[in-house]
Amino acid sequence: MKKQSKLRCAWVNLENPLYVTYHDKEWGRPVHDDVKHFEMLTLEGAQAGLSWETILNKREHYRKVFAKFAPKKVAKFSQNDVERILKDPGVVRNRLKIESTISNAKAFLEVQKEFGSFDKYIWGFVQQKTIHQHHKDLTTYPTKTSISDAISKDLKKRGFRFVGSTIIYAYMQAIGLVNDHQSNCFVLEKEKQTWFVYVIQCKDGSWYTGVATDVKRRFQEHQEQGKKCAKYLKGKGPLKLVFKQLMDNKVQAYQAEYLIKRLTKKQKNEVIKNKVSLKSLLKALN
């Protein structure tokens, strides 16, 4: 094995590229997409009694089998679908887990209907803000907390299955409700960099919001329309950088990005024109 160039959390299997990428790019990062929420709920439930690495290795096949984790599609699965999936070696062939994925999809849709999105519901348990609790080593990691207990209890009341407190805490880690990266992990060092939220105006008058540590470099990548250009900005040049604002950290930058995307066009214009403090807005919302 090659010498590890970056220090990572001790639970990562460095021999598995999928595991390393998951740790480096996903674990602990705030998720605000309902499809991703349903995916991680499903996968964490499938993990019960198994290792996360086992599930991670099957993840791509899970996406194919469960309609890319689109809740509306999965909610329509029939008993015939259950029997079909039970014969598929690419997933965990546990009837209760498979059936719970379908019933959970139906419960998931009900939460969306009540709260507008599952994202709004789940982040409400942490007041829309990631809990940071960096650990020295594996011995200090909790398996559940009072918050995971509360989420688990509420989900069960809403008809969800395979959502015990331990499973839910793992889900909280996966979607960034908590950031449990160890104190010596390179991810934390990266998060200490200077982070900005920025807005680009397209030729058609529409706006694109993003985050970056180097806005000048990132804007140039968009302007060049190459491989690193955001998909939304393809063919919409010339582009104009109309707003950038320094945030305290990476998490706050992504929160600010999410906030801007939710604003109306009039509100966005007010933020851009008057250089409104996004930190103050976030603080007021929390």
- Catalytic residues, which ones? 22, 44, 52
Classify residue 178 by its DSSP letter.
E
Q: Which residues contact 202 (CB under 8 A, 6 or more apart)?
A: 208, 233, 236, 237, 239
End-to-end CA distance of the chain: 46
Give the pair of three-digit tokens for residue 48: 């019960």
From the CB of residue 261, how many other CB atoms can be counted at a distance below 10 Å? 12
Task: Write out the H or E segment, with its range, that includes residue 199.
Answer: strand 195-201
Task: Write out the H or E segment, with its range, that includes residue 201.
Answer: strand 195-201
The percent of the chain in helix, strand and coil, each rounded to the nearest 5, is 55, 10, 35
Q: Is 222 left (phi over 0), alpha (psi -120 to 50) or beta?
A: alpha
Distances (CA, A) of 38 to 33, 103, 144: 9, 12, 20
Positive or negative, the Cα torsion across 131, 175, 227, 238?
Answer: negative
- What b/e sequence results for 43-75 when a residue is b if at least 16 CB atoms lie within 10 Å of its CB, and e otherwise? bbbbbbeeebbebbebeeebeebbbebebeebb
Q: Is 159 in contact with 101 (CB distance < 8 Å)?
A: no
